[in-house]
Structures are given as C-alpha cells and as structure tokens.
A and B are shown apart, each in its own frame.
Chain A
Amino acid sequence: MCFEAKRLFRLALGPVLMLVSAVALAAGGEVNQVNMSPGVTEVSQEIYSLHMIILGICTIIGIGVFGVMFYSIYAHRKSRGHEPATFHESTKVEIAWTIIPFFILIGMAFPATSTLLDIYDNDDAEMDVLITGYQWKWKYEYLNEQGENVSFFSNLRTSQSEIYNTEQKGEHYLLEVDEPLVLPADTKVRFLVTANDVIHSWWVPELAVKKDAIPGFINEAWTRTTVEGVYRGQCAELCGKDHGFMPIVVNVVSKDEYNEWLGTKQSEAAQIKELMAQTFTLDELMERGKAVYDRNCLACHGAGGEGGVGTAIAGSAIATGELGGHLDIGVNGVPGTAMQAFGGQLNDVDMAAVITYQRNAFGNNMGDMVQPIDVFNFKKG
C-alpha cells in the first residue's frame, strides 16, 4: 500500500523532476533516473559534461525563444485590442540571427571534436578482449599473447517465469547474465567488436562505450575504468526476436582479483580438455545436458521440449531418429533459420551431454548416448 502510494507520487512528480534534472547526477541504473549518468571513465565524464553544456545552451536559447513567443501570445492578442503591425522583413535582424547561431555552433564544435579524438584513441591498450555478438548472447574472448585464450558466452540469467510474470522479478531483471565480462581496474582495455550473424551493438552506459558489432568486420573501442564495480548494459541494435534479452554485465575488479579470476578460467579450460577424453555414464550426461539445454535451447524449444520459435523436440523425428542427423543439426545448425550452428559455441562435452539429454528427455526414451569423443570425431568428419 505504502509502496503503491510512493509509486504514484513519483509518477505524478515525473514532469517536475525534469526541471531539476541537474540534481540527478548520481550513478546510473537508478530508479526513475532522468539524465545521462556521468559514468566511471574519463571519456564517459567528458561526454557527460559535453552533454550538459549543449543541453544548457539549448535551454538558454529555448527560454529566450519561448519567452518572446509567450510574451507575444500574451501582449499581442486581438482580444486585448492589439492592432497588427505591417513589417515583414529586416535585413539586419535576419543577418544577425544567421551569424550568431553559426558562432555558437563553432563554440560547440571545439569540445565535441576533442572528446571525439579521445574516444578514437585506441592506441597503447594493455589488453584486448574480442566481443562477438550472437543471436542473442555475447561471447567474450581474452586475447592473450602469452598463452591460453580464455573465452566464454554470456547469456541472460533472468528466468522465463520472471519474464512471463509467474515469479517475482529480481532486482536486476533483464540486466543479469550467467557469466559477466571481468575487467581489471586502471587498465586500458581495447575491445575488438564483431558479430556472428546480424548486427548487434555493445553498449554499457557507465563506460560510455557503444560500438556496433558487424558480421565480417571488426570495430575497435576502448575503456579504462577507475572505479571497481558492476556495470550493466544491453544490446542497442535491433537484432531479431530476443534483441531485448541479451544484456551485458561488466565486472570491474582490482588487478589482483582479475589475475586470480583469469587463472581460474584457464584451469577450467584445461579441465574441459581433460573431460573431453573421458567417457560418461548416461546419468552424468543427462544431468549436464539439462543445464546446457536450459541455457541454450529452452528459449526456442520450450522447457518441456514442446517447441516455440523452434520445432518441438519431444517426439521429433530428429531427436528420435538416427544419431548422426541429430549431431549434424546440433553442430551445424539449419542455415537460413533461427537454428544456429552450436558446434562453435558449445564444447564437445556440453554438446555430447545436450544431445544425449534431448534423446532421453521429454518422453524421448532412445536409451542411447553420445560421448565427447563422438562429437570430436563427427566434427572432424
């Protein structure tokens, strides 16, 4: 009740808030935030002050223009008996209001140009991260000259039941991922941005980085964050059905913490390599497979394999048919449809598990299973 009343009060207050937007300089992601957030990098703060300068100039001009207009509406109305003047030109005035705005614009161009130069200064980066947009998730790859690259996908973590209103929405509804991008603080990080399918755009407002991810091309952007924290963003370019459901979470930590995290990721990668050589039991595969399914397949094929955007898996000819055909679809996808090639997205262990799961869940009691080595051999041809 109290909450509702507060909410209504805020709703009514909205238009007033805009007038005092200057007070809302606090950090981003706030409820009912009305202005751009200054962000946590030098560039984001430069952009913020540029934004405020231009907004200020526009406001002053606006007050002048509307002031004159409203004075005229008040004083020069026929109902007050005002007789119309007949003037209809004045060369002097017209030249003045052409030239003066021109000089104001030149004044704006200086700070704009210098900020743009900073945004484009991609040199001397201390580390590189390759960001690849997929329908509808992000892949991060740490390009490490010294050794093992670390790479992983970052998927939306918000559950379908939150989205479809059968469960209370969490604090970071739609802005939470299963695995965030982890970056060290006080380090110039260069992003190489590209896409696998359609155009996406990687945007984190607090970092003031927005760069289109274009299939077949690599764009550059950079950031250096001084403040540790969690920064959230979203895909900014319409990329199909789940465009609204591919958030970005950047976790900026101290350099030590970052190195520790990187070490863990590297040993995880080594572990996966070991797992590839192992043989699993059906139960192990089913357990792992369910987790992989929920993360990667559920959005299109449904929680019970009943289908949706994708075809049904329960009782499907593929999932209950010959194993090679099933592997082929999983690894290579179906070109021209929303079914992607998951061969490059899942490791062989996960692929083996999810295929096994699909063949033995939802009433598909095939009883057979796929081992990582089978996937490996299939990929080799």
Chain B
Amino acid sequence: MGDHHHGPAKGISRWLFTTNHKDIGTMYLWFSFAMFILGGAFAMIIRAELFQPGMQLVDPAFFNQMTTLHGLVMVFGAIMPSFVGLANWMIPMMIGAPDMALPRMNNWSFWILPPAFLLLASTLFMEGGAPAFGWTFYAPLSTTYAPPSVTIFIFCIHVLGLSSIMGSINIIATVMNMRAPGMTYMKMPLFVWTWLITAFLLVAVMPVLAGAVTMMLMDIHFGTSFFSAAGGGDPVLFQHIFWFFGHPEVYIIILPAFGVVSQIIPAFSRKPLFGYDSMVYATASIAFLSFIVWAHHMYTVGMPIAGELFFMYATMLIAVPTGVKVFNWISTMWRGALTFETPMLFCMGFLVLFTIGGFTGLMLSIAPSDFQYHDSYFVVAHFHYVMVAGAVFSMTAAVYYWLPKWCGRMYNETMGKTHFWISFIGFNLTFFPQHFVGLAGMPRRIPDYALQFADFNMMSSIGAFIYGASQILFLYNVIATIVSGKPTSEEKVWDGAEGLEWTVPTPAPYHTFETPPKIDPAHAHS
C-alpha cells in the first residue's frame, strides 16, 4: 500500500467503501434516477386514476398515499440527490481540487440515503398504509389523524436531513478550502457559486425541518401539544415551521439548476456568460429573500392583514433578481453563434418553461388573487413548471453535457433530441391544461373530479404518459452511451465549453488535479 495513485477497488467494495468524489457522484446520480422512476411510477398511478371522472383503479386512501409519496420521493429522493451527485462530480473538477474536502463523510452521506428510502417505500406495505397527508404533512392530519407509519416517515426525514446537512457541509468546506491557487471566488464557475449558496441554505433549514418532525413525534407519542389547540398548541404553527424550511427548500432545488444553465448556455452560444457578477448577486438575493417569504404559502390561514401585506410585498420582490437571471441568459445567447445540441435544447426548454413558471409565481404572490388560486390545480401547474421544467430539465441537460467527459463516449444526438422533443411536448400537454382546471375551480389532491374538468384531465394524463415514456428513452440512451457510445478522447468535448473540467483527459481519470492547475490570472471566469 502507500500507493496514492491506485485505481478503484474491485467489486462491490469499490462502491461500498469508496471515498472518491466521482464514484460517489455516480452513485448519487444513479440513485436519484432510480427514485425519479419510482416517483414517476407513483405519478402514473395518479394520472391513470384521474384519466376519467369516477373511481376506477385505486381507492381514495391509496390515492392520497400516492400523492404524498410522489412528492416526497421526487423532492428528497430524485431532485435533491441528483444535484448533490452533480456537485460531487463537478465541483472538485471545476475548482481544481483533487477530491471533496471530507471524503469519508461523503461516503456516509450517500450511503444513508438508500436505506432511508427503502424504509419510506416499505410503509406502503404496513398496516394502515403509507403516509397519506401530502408531502407538506400538515398537522393534525399528520399527527392525531395519521396512520402508524408516520413514525417511520419521521425517522426517514431525519435521515434525509442528516444526509443533506453532511453533503452541504462537505460542499462548503470544499469550495472554501480546496480551490486551486488563483481561483478566487469571483472566478468560480457559476455552478459552484449556486451550489455554495444552496449549501448554506440547506445547513440553515434542514434542522428546522428536523425540528418540525421531532415536534410531531412528541405530539404523537409523548403527549405534547405543539400542534393541537386542545392542549394549548396551534396547527398553524406547524405550517409556519414547515414553510420556513419549505420555501428555502424550493430554491435549494432551483439554484443549482440555475448554475447548470449558466454553464451550458454560454458553451453553445460560444460567448461568455452575460453579467457574471450580477448573476452571483442575484443568486445571493434570491437566497436571502427565500427566508422572508414563507407565509405566502399560507395566505388563507387567517393571518392578520399586516402579515399578508408583508409577505406579499417580499414575495413580489423575488421577481427582480429572477428577472435579472432570465435577461442575462437571453443576453448571453444574443449575438452568439448558437448551435442546438441536446443539452442546449433542454436549457432553452428550461428558459421558456421556467419563465412561464415564474410568471405564474408572480401571479400567486398577489395575495388577493391567491385566495382563488390557493390549493387549486393552478398551483400544481405552477410548481411543476419550476420543478420539472426548471430542475429536471436542467439536470437532464447536465447529464447530456457532461456525460461524454464522464465516460469518454458520445451519446446518440438524434436520440437525445428526440428525447427532448417528446419530453417538451409531453410536459406541456400534462401541465398546461392544469392551469385551466385550476382557474376553473378544481382543487388539488382530489382522486375524482366534477365532469366539467374531464377533457383537460384526460389531456393531462395522456401528456403524463408521454413524458413518462420519454424517460425510458433517456435511460436507454445513457446506458447505450456508457456501453457502446462512440469513443471520444478530446479534452474539450464541446468547442464552446469553458472551465477546468474541460482541461482534464477524457474520460476523466479516477483522480484529477492531484497537483493544482495553474489559473490564468487574466482569464475572467469560466
């Protein structure tokens, strides 16, 4: 031993005991894709039941379990871990570091995830069924009136929180301490910036979520009354605590996506990112604002008018930095030399659809109108525009963009583009009509609906099946690339790409930047 230049270990022990950021990144990415398929399967059951009015496939209690698990698995199992995986792979390679700062903890933060989700999925087979109180688990539906599996759910949330906090600390430590000499903060790629800010958000709010579920645990098993008015508590307190976590959480999901898009659009525009500094400031402003807007999820709980006005004004303000970002991306494209490979297509899909989600977000921020939008399908449409077309589209773009660097093989471009167009059409067919039924008065989280909503729901379901099926094409394309894609050894796979990750060999060797690279001081940023 003593040889520091060894390759990966053989067999299963490589994956179980690895401390290598690339291995751990790979495991995160595969795990999150598996969760994406699982959460997607739950969504397919939901859409199949909603295909027509009347109850056909499942009973209402099981339907509620599906909506709950779909939300939990997608947020905590698919989107968040996928971006952590990307951070693991890319951050060290982008800042010229040999690995993450805390590699053993890195292993641990990944490996506690699969058992947690196994446990969560196992609640489906328990007496009383899986959690059925929505991914927002409002008390007292999630306490006094919850199935027994709620205790398992609380344990799972604790484990997920632990994993997220460890992952974030690792990212903060890596970015702050491991940058190559000359890589100043204002030279870091925007993906690193957005993740640094995201990591601070995570460290700040995951403990709040842990607090919320612990209070639930106390209420359920130890006779406290945090959330029960009968014992002097308050059910609305739960919502305040939950959304104090929950609102920053949505930015935790979207900020790394902003980072990805800010890497890819310049590459295929062959032009530097427009307004780098303002991108950094806008990201920081959004992160700050995310802490003071939580009660816009609660306009109808009966807050005093002063509270309503404060949260309305603060929420509307978010449109300013978000607008800056959109304008910057479009200015980056302006007078570039554009090509439209799959990663760029997904980023432009992101740009259009995320902006639509931003507009509906602005509409939702207007408290009086929100009395009509709140808890309707309009909200469902809104957050899928930002979560799916925002986070998932950009994550998909990231996979296509960096996959050749990861495995030294090129994906099939035609299949990639087909994947994009089917996704794009399927997505819009699913979620655009949901704006209509929401405005027309259809509440969310219902297993059956009035007849006037039938046509749009059928469209939605057909769209969902199309979108779901397109992911099989994605999986096939990725596996085919890894197994038998066209080999490439060009360091810079994309001619317009900038950044340190494109200076290492392709495929990226097991260890990169064991000696720090030289950063050109004249070079502004990548």
Contact = CB atoms under 8 A, between A and B. Distances in A.
Given A72-B330, A309-B61, A243 B446 contact: yes
Given A68-B330, A88-B275, A216-B229, A28 B64 contact: no
Given A73-B348, A210-B374, A238-B138, 10 more contacts: A10-B455, A28-B441, A69-B351, A198-B140, A199-B235, A214-B235, A215-B140, A236-B374, A240-B141, A336-B144
Nearest to B312: A112
Contacts of B317: 105
Interface string B263-298: 000000111111111100000000000000000000
Given A31-B451, A51-B369, A83 B316 contact: no
B452 A245 contact: no
A88 B276 contact: yes
Contacts of B228: 216
A377 interface: no
Interface in B137-179: 138, 140-141, 144-145
Interface in A91-117: 93-94, 97-98, 101-102, 105, 108-109, 112-113, 115-117
Q: Number of contact residues on A: which range applies?
A: 35 or more
B447 interface: yes
B230 interface: yes
In the A-B complex, list the 9 residue pairs whose CB atoms are closest, starting with the nearest.
Answer: A216-B229, A244-B446, A219-B302, A33-B440, A58-B359, A115-B368, A205-B441, A88-B272, A236-B375
B323 A244 contact: no
B221 interface: no
17 contacts: A18-B432, A28-B441, A35-B440, A65-B355, A78-B337, A84-B269, A86-B271, A88-B275, A89-B278, A108-B316, A113-B309, A173-B451, A175-B450, A208-B372, A211-B300, A219-B302, A240-B132
A40 to B, nearest CB: 13
Contacts of A257: none
B279 to A, nearest CB: 10
B61 A14 contact: no
B271 A85 contact: yes
Interface in B416-454: 432-433, 435-436, 439-441, 443-452
Contacts of B436: 14, 17-18, 32-35
Interface in B473-522: none
A169 B335 contact: no
Nearest to A33: B440
Contact of B235 (A66, A119, A171, A215): A215
B309 A116 contact: yes
Given A220-B302, A240-B64, A244-B60, A89 B308 contact: no
B441 A238 contact: no
Contact of A217 (B229, B446, B451): B229
B56 interface: yes
A77 B446 contact: no
Nearest to B352: A66
A72 B53 contact: no
A31 B452 contact: yes
Contact of B308 (A32, A34, A116): A116
Interface string A118-129: 011000000000
B324 A97 contact: yes
B186 interface: no
B449 A73 contact: no
A164 interface: yes
B415 to A, nearest CB: 21
B93 interface: no
Nearest to A242: B60
A76 B455 contact: no
Given A62-B359, A73-B338, A201-B300, A14 B456 contact: yes
Contact of A79 (B272, B339, B352): B339
Nearest to A206: B441
B275 A119 contact: no
Contacts of B337: 76-78, 82-84
Given A29-B452, A105-B319, A216-B229, A198 B145 contact: yes
Contacts of A46: 368
B518 to A, nearest CB: 23
A81 to B, nearest CB: 8
A340 to B, nearest CB: 11
A54 B274 contact: no
B334 interface: yes
A101 B320 contact: yes
A328 interface: no
Given A82-B335, A210-B374, A243-B446, A58 B363 contact: yes
Contact of A208 (B133, B274, B371, B446): B371
A303 B228 CA distance: 34
Interface string B309-340: 10011001101100110110011111111111
Contacts of B367: 112, 116
Nearest to A71: B334
B312 A69 contact: no
Given A51-B363, A215-B140, A76 B274 contact: no
A133 to B, nearest CB: 12
A62 B443 CA distance: 27
A380 interface: no
Given A65-B355, A89-B277, A240-B132, A116 B443 contact: no
B313 A109 contact: yes
Contact of B54 (A82, A169, A239): A169
A165 B448 CA distance: 12
Contact of A32 (B338, B368, B448, B452): B452
A86 B363 CA distance: 36
The winner among B60, B277, B367, B369 for most chain A CB atoms within 10 A is B369
A69 B330 contact: yes
A270 interface: no
Contacts of A245: 60, 448
A291 interface: no
A64 to B, nearest CB: 10
A243 B442 CA distance: 12
B271 A84 contact: yes
Nearest to B359: A58
A55 interface: yes
Contact of B53 (A120, A169, A171, A197): A169
B141 A239 contact: yes
Contacts of B272: 86, 88
A235 B300 CA distance: 13
B469 interface: no
A50 interface: yes
A276 interface: no
A40 B433 CA distance: 25
B273 to A, nearest CB: 7
Contacts of B355: 62, 65-66
Nearest to B56: A165
A219 B447 CA distance: 27
Contacts of B372: 36, 47, 51, 205, 208, 210
Contacts of B35: none
Contacts of A169: 53-54, 451
Contacts of A238: 64, 133-134, 138, 141, 444-445
A72 B271 contact: no
Contact of A50 (B141, B368, B449): B368
B42 to A, nearest CB: 16
Contacts of A28: 440-441
A117 B309 CA distance: 10
A381 interface: no
A11 B359 CA distance: 25
B366 interface: yes
The winner among B270, B300, B320, B436 for most chain A CB atoms within 10 A is B300
